[in-house]
Structure 1
C-alpha cells in the first residue's frame, strides 16, 4: 500500500495518506507487542519444562513428587495473578514455592477455624479463574485418611427399646410366692405374694455443633458436609458406648461397671481372679460358674483387646489352651470355655482391682432406650460466614437384671 501511494504521488488525497500512515504505525506496534508476549510465554514454558524434567529424589522425571508440586505452585501463582487482574499476555510467572507451601498448610487450619484469621484467609483468597472465587490446593486428594477409634458393641448385645416419652418404666418381679404343705383335712392359710418393683430408665441428650465456612462447603475438594455428618455419628456412637459401661447416670446413661459388688438387687457380683494383677484359668472358671444356668444359654464374655491377648495364653489343668479359635469368614466366633467372646474397648485393662471381664446374658441384664435418633439442624444464618451443624441425640441405658451378669475383678497386688 505504501509503495502504491508513493508511485501515485499527488494524485492521492493527503487525508487518506495520513490515515494509512497512522494505521501502519498501529499495526507495527501491536505486532511488536505480540512478538514480545510470545517470547515471554515461551520463556515461561521453557522454565516449567525444565522443572518438570528435573530428576526427583527417586530418580523419577515428569511424574515425581517435586515436579507435581512445582506444577501445582505454577498454576496456583497464575490463579493469584488472574484474581488480582495482573495476568496479561506478557506477564512472567515465577512460581513462589514458599508462598504455595504456606497456602497448603493454611488450608487445613481454615477448614477447622471458627474465627477469622487474616493470614489464613489471605493465603486462601486466590481465584480459580479471572472472575475470582476460592480455590483449594491442586495437590489435595479427594480421599480423606481417617483415624480409627476403637469402641464397644454393647448396643448389639443388649435389649434396645424405642420410646416416645422421657423415660421407660420396667416392672420388676423381686420375689416369689409362699407355699405350704397341707393334710387331707387341714384348712389352708394365706401364703405370701411376690413383690413388684420397677426400673426407670431416663433418656439423656448429647449434642455436637461443628462449623464450617460456606465457601469451604462449596469449594473443598471433598464432601465436607457428608464428612461432618459421618464424624458426628461415629463420635456419638463411641460416646454412648462408653456411657453404657462407665456412665454415672447423671445427664448420661448408667454404666454396667458402676454398681457396688454384691448379690442383692442393685448390686453386681464381682468374682476375684485369684492372682495379683493377672487373669487366671481358675478365675475364669469361677466367673462362668457364678452365673445361674438360666442365663448361660445366651451368655458371652466381654473384654478389652489386650485382655483377649492375656486370656489366649491360659491353659487348663491338662495343659490345653482354654481359648478356641473361631472362623471369622464363616461367622464362627472364638470361644472361651464354650462361650463366645466379644471385644469391648471400654472394658478396663488387666491391672490390680480392675473389672476386666464381664460374663452374662447382656440382653437380659442391660436395656438401652432410644428416644430420638441423630437429628440435624443446619444453620447458615446466625454465625455467618460459618454454617452451624447442630446435632442432637437422646438415649438412655441401665442395668435392669443384676443377676444376669457377673464381673471378673483382678486381684490386688
Structure 2
C-alpha cells in the first residue's frame, strides 16, 4: 500500500491511496474459506462447495468490504501519523470508472486543513466585566415580594389600587375566554384602572387590550393569546370580577426566616437583607460572567484573522448531516455556522497554548458541587460525602453526562483564563441598569 499527499494550497490537499493485491488477498481468501465451511448451496454437502462457486457468489462483496475497511484504517492511521489537523472528514473523490475486477485500486480523498494562526488575548481596547450588585432598592423590593408571597389573602368588597383581582377575560371573536389573577400595578392604561377601581364581585367591566398592561407579554398569560398576537392586539374584552382580595403582608419574624432558609440560619431583618444580597449577587455573577464570555468570544472572532477552506466545508456539509443538503442549502448552513467554527478553532488553540485540561478528579469535584447545589434546593443542606461520591459515580458512568460536564468545566476554565489574561476592566452596575442596558 502506498499513500501520498498533494497540497493544493495551505487549506486544501488531496490524499491518494494505492492498494495492491497483496494488501488484501490473504484476508479475502481466509473469509471466503470460512464461507465455504458454512455455505448452504443446493446440490452440495455443507463444507464441500467448490471454491470457484463460493468466489462467484460472495467474492466481489467480500473484496469490496475488505478493501473499504483497509482503506479507512490506512487513511485514519495516515492522518494520525502525519499529525494532519483536518476540518470535517475526508471526502472521497467520485470514481465512476472503478474496476473491481482489477488487482490494484487507487482512491483519492479531498482534505480541508485547519488554518495556522496565533491568538492574542490582550487587545488594545479593554473588555468590560460587569460586577452586578444588588442595590438597596432591589433588596427592599425582594423583601416586599417575600412578604406578599408568604402573606395571606383578605377578601375585599371592592377593587382598590392595592387589590389582587381574579376574573374571566372574554372576547368571542378572538376566542378569548381565560380566568386570570393580577394586581393593579400591572395595569398601564389609566382608563382601564379607573374602570376596575370600585368594581365588585359579579361586575362586568369592558377593557381595551391595547396598552392594557405595562408589558404586552402579560396578554399571553392573562388572556392566553399567542406571542405574535400579543404585540398587535387591539380589541375590547369583558372582564367579569370573581374575587377581590388584598394580600396582608407576612410578618418578618423567625417563623418566616426559618421557612425561607432553614432553622436559625437567619434571625433578623438585617441578616435577611444580607442573605438576599449574597444570593442575588451570586446569581448576578453568573450573568455578568456570561456577558463577559460572550464579549470575549466576539472579540476573539473579530480580531483573530485566518481563512477557512470554505468550498471544501460547504461540500462536506452536503452529506455530513442526517439529511443531505443541496449546494445552496450547504452554503447557507456554512454562513450560519462560520462564526461558531472559527471560535471552536480559536478555543482549541487557547486550550493547547495554555495547557488547559479536564481531569477525572476535576470532573468528580465539579459533579459533587453540582449535586450539592441541587440537593440544597430541596432542603438537604449538608449531605454526607459518601452520598455525594455515590451519586457522582452514577453520573460519571454515563458517557453523555461526562461529555456535557466536561464541556461546562472547560468553559469555566476558559472563563478564568480570560479573566486573568485578557485586557479587561471591571465596572460595577446595578441589576436594573444591567437589564436596561443589554436586554431592554
Query: TM-score, normalization: structure 1?
Result: 0.18
Q: Which has the higher helix share?
A: 2
